[in-house]
Chains A and B, each alone.
Chain A
């Protein structure tokens, strides 16, 4: 080992116990830095930047989530308006006096039908209409009917009326569908007089059928409006 010269020894001995008086303000500055360092360092016991970031991120995610939800709600409400406009649903507010009179008459008929249905055990009715639609009415038990009746009477007034055009096909199309295929009119000329009336009936323009349906619990009430030759004929049924 190289021996130190006298200058080195002088400094080594002199600065062994060298100290400088500290200021009180130094500790204040240092404590601030220590607090900052503790904040930046992760620890379960004290609040730090990681907890802060966690809270901020949770708030941000929640905010984004709610913003998206609110956007979706507004978009769905905007989209729902034209859908209702497109439907042939006549709201009660827009009804004319004629419509109100019709509805009132229809309600009365529905009530009558319900009363009749209670008395009948099972009614099967096959309609011979041109559409060959089959409607089967089955009356429930007496107790159940009584309960339904009470419920229906309470809610008949509140129920909105929906009008749906079920069969709005053009008369020409219906007539084409129902017409028998005649390949050689001359050969079948003999049969013409016998089937003239039938063919004429078949070639008649099909009526426009309009059904008003009312849904109440498990029962669906329908009111058919059939337009024949420009005149309205009401066939009410339920």
Chain B
């Protein structure tokens, strides 16, 4: 059955775009409705899996565009909360790790540590969840779905430079999070 075969993979895609699992479920349902109603349009040119992925990515983008205002407000609060929480956590764990992670300088990040940390998919996803939606969606489209900045700009109705900026900001946040996680991993 189509749903049973492809649903786990497609839910994985949706989880990269949204934080909330319930939202991911909604996107999966909407995506499958699109698939069932437009399955006659698939003419066998290219892989069926790739066609499904495109539909689900577009559904996730549509979902993002629908809730853009909500995401914008939540992103601001998320940024504040994460910064506050990270500061609090850092002060709590500072005695254990004895490393101050409150302000990690980009220049001090050791990329070899991140490479050697061997993060699992769940850990990488956790690091991605810290990134605000508007940056994360650009990162996902560029890094994972292999979209160009021009395509991202068209899809999200933003400027190409905005897309580039958002990608850079998303990467910085992820790097910092992964660096923190790698230090914690090594410390354990």
Contacts and interface: CB of A to CB of B under 8 A. Distances in A.
A19 B143 contact: no
Interface string A1-27: 000111110111011011111100011
A41 interface: yes
B187 interface: no
Contacts of A15: 12, 16, 121, 124, 144
Nearest to B13: A18
B129 to A, nearest CB: 13
Contacts, number: 79
A22 B8 contact: yes
Given A30-B32, A41-B37, A12 B143 contact: yes
Contacts of A20: 8, 11-12, 15, 24
Interface in A98-147: none
A6 B124 contact: no
B171 A5 contact: yes
Contacts of A26: 7, 25, 28-29
A196 to B, nearest CB: 110
A34 B29 CA distance: 9
A189 interface: no
Interface residues of B, number: 34
Interface in B1-59: 3-4, 7-9, 11-13, 15-16, 24-25, 28-29, 32-33, 36-37
Given A6-B114, A37-B36, A19 B9 contact: yes
A155 interface: no
B29 A29 contact: yes
B175 interface: yes
A163 B139 CA distance: 103
A33 interface: yes
Nearest to B8: A19
A41 B13 CA distance: 28
Contacts of B29: 26, 29-30, 33
Contacts of A14: 119, 121, 124
B178 interface: yes
B8 A4 contact: no
Nearest to B172: A7
Interface string B106-143: 00000100110001010010001000000000010011
Contacts of B4: 22, 27
Contacts of A37: 33, 36-37
A203 B153 CA distance: 114
B162 to A, nearest CB: 17
A11 B12 contact: no
A14 B127 CA distance: 13
A4 B148 CA distance: 12
A7 B175 contact: yes
B174 interface: yes
B151 to A, nearest CB: 14
Interface of B: 3-4, 7-9, 11-13, 15-16, 24-25, 28-29, 32-33, 36-37, 111, 114-115, 119, 121, 124, 128, 139, 142-144, 146, 171, 174-175, 178
Interface of A: 4-8, 10-12, 14-15, 17-22, 26-27, 29-30, 33-34, 37, 41
Pairs of residues from A and B, 7 with the lowest C-beta to C-beta distance, nearest first: A19-B8, A18-B12, A8-B143, A20-B11, A22-B7, A19-B12, A19-B9
12 contacts: A7-B114, A12-B146, A15-B12, A18-B9, A18-B13, A19-B12, A20-B15, A22-B3, A30-B28, A34-B33, A37-B36, A37-B37
